[in-house]
Structure 1
């Protein structure tokens, strides 16, 4: 076996987990009315069927004050038991073990009832800066009521068939609000001393134990480091875990806090963060407490997890996003088919990004995730067609592989000498190298599906007519264009694409005008600043990169700040001449003038390459236009529309 440590069983309190791969608790927005939906059951069943050893189901609220989003799962009534039972049975039927997270957010509360912001509660009335929440201080009897809620919710989960529960004390939620001397200013039995601040966690553990049984598994998830100057550091967390070692059967290590911009980045660390970066702390904790330790944090590939387990750093590895991207990752790894694994690129766009938008979870590379009810199976077609796909970017690649899997005869025409389209550019910017993995992964899917690929093939109406396909999928993407603005002499003007590819070298003083407010503008600004240019980033938005997932955005803004890049929001380009860039402040409608500029770099929307549409329609061939050829957007829409178009060919 290639990964002997990773695929060895792990026993904890009489429960044997078949391997060391863990799907950590994560929001899916697939709950409905506070209960697991059929969609959530299908989602988790797909991961269980894919071979994961343990699934820890997403947070379940233990008290009415714990409703931190509109679709949070709730365990406050016995009415919840049947639906959770169906979920746990679906998971365990595949040989996978099932735990569930017990949760109270405290002051980290976003939920609204009838459109009204809820009153948050916490250990003390300590404001939370990220969501601008001012909580009320919990009365002592309310604290004991919440503690009782942990116990009664655990009982319901045990009756429903869970193998264990995990108390969420990570990411700045209620338990750590009691633990933190920076948040908890109480002077009663729940504050004032280290021992009193530990009382909430100890009482929760005791309540859960009383409500279940001695052999029921009770763990906790805790952040090793909150990555904020006001938050817990490694040594403080280590001391807390030592004090609590007799209260829990295992400790699950993650990092970060929901309470601050710097800490929140580590809730789902983007590709700028190193792989398996929390393993050293996990190893230190395991040696200190002699209890099972689980760890997550950018463990994407089986060889990374194997190294963590083999070194004794942890007993289980959280590989959650790896299995959002490829539910079959464990099975493929066990069978030695590592080249077939669709590797996560940590873009955060459709996993945590969807959850933050109130949308069901998915993946830009594998849009079937979260949509198992619609796309979970790939039935063979009863009427094979000759399908021509024009364009080898992400949209065309996905459409081609899916259409071929279904049983159609597929040709993919790509005018360039390689596949990837706009993704080839994305991987060239700082800290975006992993984005090129989408090309590698989709290329492998094409190979496995045995798609007939023609490089250097330019599509024309005549060539299409000669081919006589039964259907055409047009995925020709988009092309760069500069927007309209007043231009004069005395300043170099370049499009972002030319700077990314190195076709244009800028001067020493650069303005990057960013209409898109996505990863391109911040990436170019970082690239040029790192190369020594004095950079001003003028963004047509309330802040740089406002269009992308906030952990990725905030990490990028932090890097630009450290590099000394000047960032100007609310900017619309008006004109440029004589080493001067003229902007309009979009809110104030007043002029903003930037002087002594050598080069203006423009990040502007592309134009769809849809010139073939009229000619194909004139031929009477059924046509599907997808991705940027339909409307310039992101890789997520491109890949999803490739899946959708191919699935509709039946």
Structure 2
């Protein structure tokens, strides 16, 4: 039992099931399905979290009706072919002492994908359009409504009979059940519209049908947004009214529902969608104020999601009565073993999620399997785990202490290699240390802290302020060399007159120069955090800014929810002008010249006092003789990209070291 987190590791009973601790991995789409079914990849993904000590795992959404296909990779529980997958994942999770539930889902009008690239077709209570995905749904007939309600019950029984411990009805984030309840979306005049009782009817009948299908020996819960936080969305008072009515329902003498899972936000607008997976700009554990309100009106178990990334945040929320269980989904994508580490009070070993959203929800929105920029083993468990161990230790020299080099050093040392990492600068972390200097990006530095600590714990020797010379190479005489020297700032060719002040983005972040009074032109080649972040930093310091990007729009390369918050913050300053689809070509005493990337038009920005240029970086590689050593180049030294690719290539490079001596390895 943990001494630091006694509330977090106290068992809890939901209906007929006792869960070993209060840590929850909530339902989240992984894109690890096997043609709409649960396959080996998804089983291995959830087994890793169960093995890591998680108390409750909730599977991603399972469609209950053919009209519930909101993406092309959604799990479907509409026929018996789905049963073997649920059985397999239940057995894998139970092997490690964890509990597992599955979500029952219908998106209504919240449909992302159409058939083979066609526009999405969706159904909903009424034909009110959806803003975010630009969907105009078909109003449901009464007969189809009844069919969908029956689909919830049939899917619930199918899942429960497969060995899953409970089912969770998804009424959060503006999905179908809550669409019926929202009077701004549901304009029906029949038994499913109009009065609050009629608007509750769909969800009430779903709950009753599910409980009747699974009986009292299976847990039944409800996931719901405590507040939609968007235009025309439900406010907390409306949601609490609905929860109160559902809380009072009994089904054949037992409670219809065993728990409420509280979150925030709504999928139908960008403003509301940011709360589905809140990024690092959002305060930790911010949604516990919503779960606290729910706890005041129900005696049933309440769990909550919303940026709970550390065990101390979860412990405080439970101890203070704001929730009974803490949903820590992204924390476990980043570190599947976080629960076990917290239980033995090994908090220094935890790899903390930084809320970047890049490889988790960012991958999902690209339609590819989710992972983590810090821990690319997530979602790739069958490829990289368990880690091999080498029988014959070899000398490995890693040149560069950025994210690529640190990951390579950590994994190679964990496999049993003798690893020396040399970094020319006084600090480890590389470009990550620059990223944390941007507004609302300070947590990003945690990636460097985490990777450095992992490499040290694995036994790698980490040398800072140590440029790699030929003499050092000869002294170490490594068998393998991993070059991870990163990239340098590159400046584009510009016509500069009148001694106009032009500064590179990296130089600006490293040196914080004093700029002359007046408008600053920030040029941005990629549409990522750098240009938008620098512009926001200047604007918040009351400097007028023109942000000129070669992308289609500012922040185009940033994950959608993160960009939405950044842009809202930028717009609120009132000091940033945006120019899209342009590249910088020149600057004189007071004018910046921008060439359209689309045609011959040149745009002039007047009143410019200085320019800060974010251009494509340039790879850096040492010119050294490594003798007979095998050499791999990774990360930005290979080709400038992002932290995600750097860490992944560090992992693959170290893994390939073990594979190179496959006859000399044994499983860890």
Give the alignment's TM-score, normalised by structure 2.
Answer: 0.95
Deviation at 1:523, TM superposition (A): 0.8
Matched, 1:134 2:142: no
Q: For 1:473 and 1:68, locate their aligned partners in 2 and report how far apart those are by CA, in whole Å.
A: 43
Find the counterpart in structure 2 of residue 594 from structure 1.
Answer: 605
After the TM superposition, list the runs of 4 or more consecutive aligned residues in structure 1 that deviate by more than 4 angstroms. none
Find the counterpart in structure 1 of residue 666 from structure 2.
Answer: none
Structure 1 unaligned blocks of 5 or more = none
Q: For 1:474 and 1:107, locate their aligned partners in 2 and report how far apart those are by CA, in whole Å.
A: 50
Residues 315-365 of structure 1 deviation map (CA, whole Å, 9 limit, x = unaligned): 111000001000110000000100000000000000111111111110000
> SS at the partner of 2:233?
coil
| Greater displacement, 40-49 / 178-187 | 178-187
Q: For 2:224 and 2:600, locate their aligned partners in 1 and report how far apart those are by CA, in whole Å.
A: 48
Q: For 1:630 and 1:587, locate their aligned partners in 2 and report how far apart those are by CA, in whole Å.
A: 30
Kept in 1, the 8 Å contact 2:16–2:218? The answer is: no
Matched, 1:574 2:582: no
Figure out how many residues of one structure are paired with residues of the other and give that number: 647
Q: For 1:193 and 1:485, locate their aligned partners in 2 and report how far apart those are by CA, in whole Å.
A: 65
Alignment of 1:511-530 (within 5 A): 511-530=521-540
Q: For 1:480 and 1:114, locate their aligned partners in 2 and report how far apart those are by CA, in whole Å.
A: 42
Matched, 1:152 2:154: yes
> SS at the partner of 1:109?
coil
Q: For 1:524 and 1:505, locate their aligned partners in 2 and report how far apart those are by CA, in whole Å.
A: 14
Q: For 1:435 and 1:588, locate their aligned partners in 2 and report how far apart those are by CA, in whole Å.
A: 37
| Greater displacement, 426-435 / 570-579 | 570-579
Matched, 1:583 2:594: yes
Matched, 1:449 2:458: yes
Kept in 2, the 8 Å contact 1:499–1:505? The answer is: no
Q: For 2:499 and 2:400, locate their aligned partners in 1 and report how far apart those are by CA, in whole Å.
A: 39
Find the counterpart in structure 1 of residue 394 from structure 2.
Answer: 385
Find the counterpart in structure 1 of residue 569 from structure 2.
Answer: 559
Deviation at 1:540, TM superposition (A): 1.2
Residues 162-200 of structure 1 deviation map (CA, whole Å, 9 limit, x = unaligned): 111111111111111111111111001110111111111
Kept in 2, the 8 Å contact 1:491–1:597? The answer is: no
Matched, 1:487 2:487: no
Query: Aligned match of 1:608 in 610, 616, 619?
Result: 619
Kept in 1, the 8 Å contact 2:359–2:644? The answer is: yes
Closer/same/farther in 2, CA of residues 611 and 412 from structure 1, 3 Å limit: closer
> SS at the partner of 1:380?
strand
Kept in 1, the 8 Å contact 2:456–2:462? The answer is: no
Q: For 1:587 and 1:218, locate their aligned partners in 2 and report how far apart those are by CA, in whole Å.
A: 55
| Greater displacement, 416-425 / 229-238 | 229-238
Structure 2 unaligned blocks of 5 or more = 250-255, 659-668
Residues 215-245 of structure 1 deviation map (CA, whole Å, 9 limit, x = unaligned): 3211111111222122112222112211221
Matched, 1:641 2:641: no
Matched, 1:467 2:476: yes
Q: For 2:204 and 2:305, locate their aligned partners in 1 and report how far apart those are by CA, in whole Å.
A: 24
Find the counterpart in structure 2 of residue 100 from structure 1.
Answer: 102
Q: For 1:53 and 1:221, locate their aligned partners in 2 and report how far apart those are by CA, in whole Å.
A: 18
Find the counterpart in structure 1 of residue 557 from structure 2.
Answer: 547
Kept in 1, the 8 Å contact 2:37–2:75? The answer is: yes
Find the counterpart in structure 2 of residue 334 from structure 1.
Answer: 343
Deviation at 1:608, TM superposition (A): 0.3
Q: For 2:119 and 2:79, locate their aligned partners in 1 and report how far apart those are by CA, in whole Å.
A: 24
Alignment of 1:345-424 (within 5 A): 345-424=354-433
- Considering only aligned residues, what root-mean-square deviation do their CA atoms show, in Å? 1.2
Find the counterpart in structure 2 of residue 510 from structure 1.
Answer: 520
> SS at the partner of 1:150?
helix
Q: For 1:289 and 1:14, locate their aligned partners in 2 and report how far apart those are by CA, in whole Å.
A: 18
Residues 21-67 of structure 1 deviation map (CA, whole Å, 9 limit, x = unaligned): 00000010000111111000000000000000000000000011111
Deviation at 1:398, TM superposition (A): 0.6
Kept in 1, the 8 Å contact 2:479–2:628? The answer is: no
> SS at the partner of 2:657?
coil
| Greater displacement, 406-415 / 229-238 | 229-238
Deviation at 1:462, TM superposition (A): 4.1
Q: For 1:14 and 1:213, locate their aligned partners in 2 and report how far apart those are by CA, in whole Å.
A: 11
> SS at the partner of 2:537?
helix
Closer/same/farther in 2, CA of residues 244 and 616 from structure 1, 3 Å limit: farther
Find the counterpart in structure 2 of residue 285 from structure 1.
Answer: 294
Deviation at 1:111, TM superposition (A): 2.5
> SS at the partner of 1:144?
helix
> SS at the partner of 1:100?
strand
Deviation at 1:588, TM superposition (A): 4.3
Matched, 1:627 2:635: yes
Matched, 1:497 2:506: yes
> SS at the partner of 1:238?
helix
Find the counterpart in structure 2 of residue 215 from structure 1.
Answer: 217
